[in-house]
């Protein structure tokens, strides 16, 4: 596994939220796993890591937000834009995420943004306090955020969806 201690600490924190999302999806009947990472370098991790892997091969990327970004759903997301990913992280991924799930660490609420909206995202240069230098970051208008229930509905197999609706 990667040796950078700061990176490892962030990775461990991220794994907690990946598991949180994965368990939520499983509780809703969706085939989801958090694959074990075997990367040897940060670069390899950026390229190959998959936070949540769905049974149909789709990948979900999970991002958690601290107390400066408290929300219960898309309607009360506190900023006009949402940080989606680093530009470099997106560009280096072997498999582009189907969706990004954003978790409020304070409320446990989840929202998501569809990866297919990439052409509507912008880019900002922000200071990354973890890296210690400015980083190009992909941003999206908060109007692209959707409630987690919509993602569950999209990912629920049709047969299960019909049973959930009482058909």
**Which pLDDT band, with edges at 50, 70 and 90, does 1 fall under?**
very low
51 assigned to some structural domain: yes
The reply to whether 125 falls in a domain is no
Per-residue pLDDT of 128-152, as tens digits, reads 776 677 889 999 999 999 999 999 9
Mean pLDDT of the chain: 86
Q: Quote the number of domains for the chain.
A: 1
Q: What is the pLDDT of residues 74-125, one digit of tens each?
A: 999 999 999 999 998 899 998 999 999 999 999 999 999 999 999 999 999 9
Q: Residue 45: which CATH number? A: 3.40.1350
Q: What single string gives the DSSP state of each residue in 96-160?
A: --SEEEEEETTT--EEEEEGGGGGG-EEEEEEETTTTEEEEEEEEEGGG-EEHHHHHHHHS-HHH
pLDDT at residue 2 in the model:
44
Q: Which domain holds residue 46?
A: 5-77+93-114+145-164
């Amino acid at each position: 596994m990667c040796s950078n201690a700061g990176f490892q600490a962030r990775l461990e924190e991220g794994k907690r939220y990946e598991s949180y999302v994965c368990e939520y999806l499983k509780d809703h009947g969706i085939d989801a796993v958090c694959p074990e990472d075997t990367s040897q370098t940060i670069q390899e991790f950026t390229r190959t890591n998959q936070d949540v892997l769905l049974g149909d091969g789709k990948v979900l990327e999970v991002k958690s937000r601290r107390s400066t970004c408290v929300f219960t759903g898309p309607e009360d997301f506190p900023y006009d834009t949402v940080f989606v990913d680093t530009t470099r992280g997106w560009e280096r991924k072997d498999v582009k995420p189907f969706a990004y799930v954003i978790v409020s660490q304070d409320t446990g609420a989840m929202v998501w943004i569809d990866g297919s909206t990439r052409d509507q995202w912008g880019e900002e240069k922000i200071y990354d306090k973890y890296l210690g230098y400015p980083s190009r970051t992909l941003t999206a208008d908060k109007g692209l955020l959707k409630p987690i229930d919509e993602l569950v509905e999209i990912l629920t197999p049709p047969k299960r969806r019909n049973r959930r609706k009482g058909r």
